[in-house]
Chain A
Amino acid sequence: MATVSLKNLVKKYGHLEVVHAINLDVEDREFVALVGPSGCGKSTTLRMIAGLEPISGGHIHIGDREVNKLPPRQRNISMVFQSYALYPHMTVAENMGFSLKIAGKSQDEISAAVADAARTLGLEELLERRPSQLSGGQRQRVAMGRAIVRHPDVFLFDEPLSNLDAKLRMQMRTEIKKLHAKVQSTVIYVTHDQVEAMTLADRIVIMRDGHIEQVGPPEEVFRRPASRFVAGFIGSPTMNLHNAVVGAGKLVFANGDTLPLPQQFRDRVTEGQKVIFGLRPDDVYPAGHGIHSGEAAEVHSVEVPVSLTEPLGNETLVFAEFAGQDWISRMLNPKILRMGDRIKLSFDLSQSHLFDAATEKSLRG
């Protein structure tokens, strides 16, 4: 059990700096997810924590030890690779017991630990097989088994589920959550799937181009994104984000259409300021087909034409044109709409987000 702390951690490849002095403190037993688009430095950061990649600057602490220069084997960590990296010439049991064998444990101890982990992960039947004889999901499970057998201080996961199909991924997600509840270790989990991050993590770290954009619990990064980037990255379907200018207590969009300036931002913007207006699809719904956000709601309705619909069964995503752009809207209890139908679209402005167009930072206090 241990904390992990990164202080001004830098990674350079030659002259190219790919991780720029990031700071992060992970609590003991906390589950932290690193998310961000491809190439933002998630894997690099994780590999630096693991000791697979030398660091170019800063400090890494695991527990109260500084591990900057320690090789992976002295860091007491486990890692699950995206490719699983199972040893093909060993059976499942040998794969899982390998770390204990290297540590010089007795055969009895190894068998007991492997059997224990196999029970936890439902692998008892497969212990004598080779990795090549396993399905993707089973390999994934063996990779996790290999990680938990040695009771490390910290688990590192690098996109462990990205090779699985959607259904299996959901199932394994639940299992990882259960596993964390059971083994109670500190976990750092890299993914580019924000749903995985939201469902699994105690805190989410959103990275972009080698910087950390925001750190916070899932509902905080969802409800109060600190920047336009986070707003666009977290949430599915993505938030509606459109440029506007503040004018006479209104938000004026490029084509001249307007929305009232949301109450909470009245004192936070200046006349003529360029802003980005954001509203999640849940908060812009065909009238009568959304969830009213209660007393504070500032609902503003506009009649607009439908440009496209995506029925999902229990709900329909409606693309409607307003202010010269498509807005995604989530329609609960859907009724059938056709292209060109005119609907009344309700904008719940109390749920809106406003970002400065230049800095892209949130204008919320």
Chain B
Amino acid sequence: MNENQANDLKKMLLKFGHLLGLFIAMTIICLPGFWIVLSSLRPTVEIMAKPPVWIPQSLSFDAYIAMFSGVGQGGIPVLDYFRNSIIISVTSTVIALAIGMAGGYAFARYQFRGKTAIFLGFMLTRTVPGIALSLPLFFVFARLGIIDTHFGLIIAYVALNVPFTVWLIDGFFRQVPRDLAEAAQIDGCTRWQAFWQVEFPLARSGIASAGIFAFLISWNEFALASQLTRSTNSKTLPVGLLDYTSEFTIDWRGMCALAVVMIIPALTLTFIVQKHLVSGLTSGAVKG
């Protein structure tokens, strides 16, 4: 066997190993999701069976039918929860993005006193676990009378997401060369126009990904929502999962069905926005 053949073989083995590694990783990542979908379709005995039943014996949509069939017949107010989740997540994401863009741009482009300290402070706020915040927040919100309102959760989520969006968007604006905004100003733009005509389009994909992150965090958040919501006025889907627990039993099938209902919009949104996450848009601006 000559050296060329040996090299070819080595390459093939490497490639095979690579694919195998990827396959295993993907399986580990996807299995829980798959298990949730599966569990939502099978009877509780099968879910609880030990050892696990890998091949389902019977599948049915009973849990989904029950979920939407109204309170009293085993259903939960899922449409109310859905509405609350949408309103709260979308509004808080939009606000967090607006603040994130303003803040991120300022951090990327301007020098000001205490810049690093503020930036570090932002990051530190994220180190506090949500559950630890929930009690103090509960007291404050109770005094303000905004427990169990959309408004209350929205401001909590904005506060949660802003450090993150600022940090992400700052990075994306940094990648847009300064020269571009200057060239735009020479071409007749005001500072404001230069931002919207040149810098914003170039950072748009980054802003979109920050938006997805903020949305998913709000959409899935449980710790704060479970304390700050009471009723169908403001309960979100993650909190709604608890409706399937009662004193002695947990309806795992129903819970999994609701989880699937939660996952679908998040997945859809991610797919829609992902199209806009074209990277490398700034290439060709400057030499290189």
Q: Which residues of A contact B (CB under 8 A)?
A: 50-52, 71-73, 77-79, 81, 83-89, 98-99, 102-103, 130-134, 136, 139, 146, 150, 163
Contacts and interface: CB of A to CB of B under 8 A. Distances in A.
A139 B281 contact: no
7 contacts: A72-B182, A85-B183, A86-B286, A88-B283, A89-B201, A89-B281, A102-B193
B186 A86 contact: no
A133 B193 CA distance: 26
A341 B179 CA distance: 55
A81 B285 CA distance: 11
A100 B77 CA distance: 57
B188 A83 contact: no
Interface of B: 177, 179-180, 182-191, 193, 197-198, 201-202, 281-287
A130 B285 CA distance: 10
B185 A52 contact: yes
A51 B190 CA distance: 12
Nearest to B181: A85
Given A85-B286, A87-B198, A73 B189 contact: yes
Nearest to B176: A88
Contacts of B197: 98, 102
Contacts of A136: 287
A88 B186 contact: no
B180 to A, nearest CB: 5
Given A98-B184, A131-B284, A136-B287, A85 B177 contact: yes
B187 A98 contact: yes
B177 A83 contact: yes
B115 to A, nearest CB: 16
B186, B197, B202, B284 interface centre (most CB from chain A within 10 Å): B186
Contact of A86 (B189, B193, B284): B284
A70 B103 CA distance: 27
B284 A77 contact: no
A87 B190 contact: no
A79 B187 CA distance: 9
Nearest to B193: A102
B284 A103 contact: no
A71 B284 contact: no
A131 B285 CA distance: 7
Contacts of B186: 50, 52, 72-73, 77-79
A102 B286 contact: no
Contacts of A146: 183, 187
Given A83-B179, A85-B180, A88-B202, A102 B284 contact: no
A103 B188 contact: yes
A84 B185 contact: no
A133 B187 contact: no
A72, A99, A136 interface centre (most CB from chain B within 10 Å): A72
Nearest to A87: B198
Contacts of B282: 88
Given A89-B281, A102-B193, A163 B187 contact: no
Contact of A163 (B185, B201, B285, B287): B287
Nearest to A103: B188
B284 A72 contact: no
B286 A83 contact: yes
B281 A102 contact: no
Contacts of A99: 187-188
A82 to B, nearest CB: 8
A102 B187 CA distance: 8
